[in-house]
Chains A and B, each alone.
Chain A
Amino acid sequence: MARLRSRLLPLIVGLSSVALLATACAPGPSESDAAPAPAHSVDPKDFAGKTLNYVYFTDGPDEKGTRDLIAKFEKKYKVTVNLEILAFGDLVKSVQARLTGGNAPDVVRLASLSEFRDDLLPLDDYAGAAFKDEFLPGPQAAATNAKGQLIAAPSDLTINAPFINVDLFKKAGVALPDEKKPWTWDEMLTAAKKVQAATGTPYAFAMDKSGHRLSTILSQYGTTMVGPKGNTLDTAKAEKALSPIVDLMKDDKMPRDFWLGSGSKYKGANEIFLTGDTPVYLSGNWQVGQFVQNAKFDWAAAPNPCAKECGGFPGGKFMAAFKESKNPALAAEFVKFMNSAESQTTFVTAAGALPTRVDLAKSGVKYGDAKTQAAMDVFNAELKRTPEADFSTNGDPAFSGSATELVNQISAVVAGQKDLSTAMKDLSTKIDQLVAETKQ
């Protein structure tokens, strides 16, 4: 034992010394060191011959549109744009690692600005203060920092809404929803259950396992989780909003295993809809492209059910330049070019997304085929019905964590571990913690 101690002791002392030495050095600059770099404007003629790195993730159909636009930009400015496509799940950690290593990309496509807010280049300095007004108020607010500067261009919009299997509705003899007079939650669920009973589908209703999708229902019942003032959750309204979903899963009219079997991970229910296992599916406009290609039945986008409010819940993607870009002026010019009216038309028609620009929202966008056009018109109408506050909720730094917690709480209720009332109170406590954490 003494021999063992004599061998172990130097090892432990050695390791501790090295650890202490390492501990003495902070692993990076302190927060006070991170001063923003001053912006400089450059003559566009100076861009010729320069190279720009654009880190991108693709939902599929948008890639071609992006490549076409990049080719135009390269030709116009005589520059080279390196398009680096990353998997969506790896994007944040990969870009953070590159920023840490001093190898920041010039431009990035993001689904959320939360992780990079302090690193993004204010575009107003290069594109002009009026640039932000080219975008709709909601997306613009989500892309604006505390100083009122636009730190990203909202490049496309998504909105949540249900899809219906028209063939099943017709087979069951149940009336289709009226786009001009949206149904209520009761009407939608009654119709869905009637179709299920008449056609024998396994489920009446399906939705993606996502806090973002659940936020649609919260919004319709007049509450959100977070906003500029912090925790905005009204637990009584949330309980009322979510009890039909919990009941549906308990009755197995909505796939319960689907919700419980994947932990805290996101899971899309698009396959359940595509196999004809449910007449109603709550998701969003990004599904349109694949439904046009893959659905073996007639389907349609339907208006969101109304409760206290109507409309869906917004999402979308952003294009942003980094302060640490080696060519900030070129990066800002690229963001501006890619989000001009002409470029955004090319992009949203290829991606099956909704425009974020005021002019395009007003004039409308012509999509490739009648089916897509009909569905996108429904989503566009839903966008107009969506409460403005939902945009700032979606852009809030605490939203993503709150959405994950919402899914966890609903899962606990579905698993019978707590009642909905307790779950909503626990959610509210967790939101308080997340809001406090993001303000630190």
Chain B
Amino acid sequence: MTTVAIPLALNRRKRAPWGLRLAPYLFLFPNMLIFGMFTVWPALNGFNMSLYASSNGRTFKPVGLGNYTTILTDAQFWSVARNTVVYAIAFVVLSTVLGIGLAVLIEAQKRFKVFFRSVFFIPVLISPVVVGLVWGWMLERKSGAVNTWLSWIGIGEVPWLVDNTWAMVSVVAVGIWMQVGFYMLILLAGLQAIDPTLYEAARMDGASAWTQFRSITLPMLQPSIVVVVVLATIHGFQSFDFIYTLTGGGPVGATMLIVQYIYENGFQSPIRYGIASAGGVLLFLVVFVITIINWLISRKREAV
């Protein structure tokens, strides 16, 4: 057995100077510091608080998993959980489908592409509180603009915000109106990254528009769709602000979602910080599991 001695100078030349190796971490450090202070630490503290009972945020009584037991045996929580799942599924499915539709339509435009892109993106920039208030006025049963327009075509008063089913429909519709422009933009970027020669080849082979969409657009758009589905799932489960100003979770809790349940326990009398934190942990777990499942599915498809 022979050994070859590598000259020391050569070995050193292979490794980058320590300054260069450190640089990426230095660039990351400020962001990581802020992320740690304002996201990771509060999240861990929230998990910790979920194991205590506190009505003032200063004195804490250990209750073990008592807050989780309280939540999971609370009928209101299950009603809120059902509302959240219904809202999230409707929101994710419809906003993804609409986002794809809008992106394809806008990409097909030869003129005014920027105009349409801006028009659909504007609602994303409006404060959710303002969105809730304005839609609240528009959807009023007796004097709202929407029912006034509907009356012109002979449709009677629709109880948009005071009937359980219609209120959920209204909340989903407003949520989609508010966010679909953002998803459309992500999908539009995905569409623009598809090689146009694929479509040329398909057209030469006589593929119809629908076949092109099904066999080229959808598969090639899949990474963007996964991003949109993950973001829409997170948005769906975390929706609160515009719903709170639009319906206040009503009528009779029909549109109350999990974040409002957490907010009301945490910040409305009687204040229950422990219950609110436990609700936050449960929400985190649900969103985390759904995100992991999404990620696993997308990896599997990529591998195929």
Contacts and interface: CB of A to CB of B under 8 A. Distances in A.
Interface in B229-248: 244, 247-248
Nearest to B49: A27
A22 B59 contact: no
Contact of A440 (B52, B53, B247): B53
A44 interface: no
Interface string B22-66: 000000000000000000000011011101111111111110000
A408 B256 CA distance: 13
Contacts of A438: 270
A412 to B, nearest CB: 5
A100 B57 contact: yes
B33 to A, nearest CB: 16
Interface residues of B, dominant DSSP: loop
A28 B270 contact: no
A417 interface: yes
Interface residues of A, number: 48
Contact of A260 (B56, B250, B269): B250
Nearest to A434: B270
B3 interface: no
Contacts of A25: 48
Given A22-B45, A415-B252, A261 B247 contact: yes
B270 A398 contact: yes
Contact of A29 (B58, B140, B251): B58
Interface string B162-176: 101000000000000
A34 B54 CA distance: 13
B52 to A, nearest CB: 6
Contacts of A398: 270
B103 to A, nearest CB: 31
A400 B270 contact: yes
B164 A97 contact: no
A18 B40 CA distance: 10
Contacts of B61: 30-31, 440
Nearest to A31: B59
Interface in A20-69: 22-23, 25-31, 33-34
Contact of B48 (A22, A264, A397, A437): A22
B107 interface: no
Contacts of B161: 257, 260-261
Contact of A411 (B49, B244, B250, B269): B250
Contacts of A260: 161-162, 250-252
B249 interface: yes
Nearest to B61: A31
Contact of B60 (A27, A118, A412): A27
Contact of B250 (A33, A100, A263): A263
A240 interface: no
A260 B139 CA distance: 14
B270 A264 contact: no
A422 interface: no
Interface in A84-133: 92-93, 96-97, 99-100, 112, 114-116, 118-119
Contacts of A93: 267
B253 A26 contact: no
A19 B44 contact: yes
A404 B268 contact: yes
Contacts of B267: 92-93
Contacts of B268: 404
B47 A22 contact: yes
A114 B47 CA distance: 26
Interface in B137-178: 140-142, 159, 161-162, 164
B249 A411 contact: no
A118 B251 CA distance: 36
Contact of B248 (A30, A31, A116, A263): A263
A417 B79 CA distance: 14
Given A262-B248, A264-B250, A27 B48 contact: yes
Contacts of A257: 140-142, 159, 161-162
A262 B296 CA distance: 41
A401 interface: yes
A265 interface: yes
Interface in A365-414: 397-398, 400-401, 404, 408, 411-412
Given A115-B55, A262-B247, A415-B252, A30 B60 contact: yes
B57 A97 contact: yes
A237 interface: no
A79 to B, nearest CB: 28
Contacts of A78: none
A256 interface: yes
B14 to A, nearest CB: 27
B247 A263 contact: yes
A23 B44 CA distance: 8
Contact of A263 (B52, B159, B256, B270): B256
A262 B140 CA distance: 11
B59 A28 contact: yes
Nearest to A102: B58
A163 B120 CA distance: 47
A264 B249 contact: yes
A400 B269 contact: yes
Contacts of A22: 44-45, 47-48
Given A114-B270, A118-B59, A261-B161, 6 more contacts: A26-B48, A262-B248, A263-B248, A264-B256, A417-B252, A434-B270
26 contacts: A23-B47, A26-B52, A26-B60, A28-B54, A29-B60, A31-B60, A34-B59, A96-B56, A99-B57, A99-B58, A118-B59, A119-B56, A257-B161, A260-B161, A260-B251, A261-B250, A262-B248, A263-B250, A264-B264, A398-B270, A400-B270, A408-B253, A411-B250, A411-B251, A415-B251, A438-B270
3 residue pairs, one from A and one from B, having the closest CB atoms: A263-B248, A263-B250, A263-B249
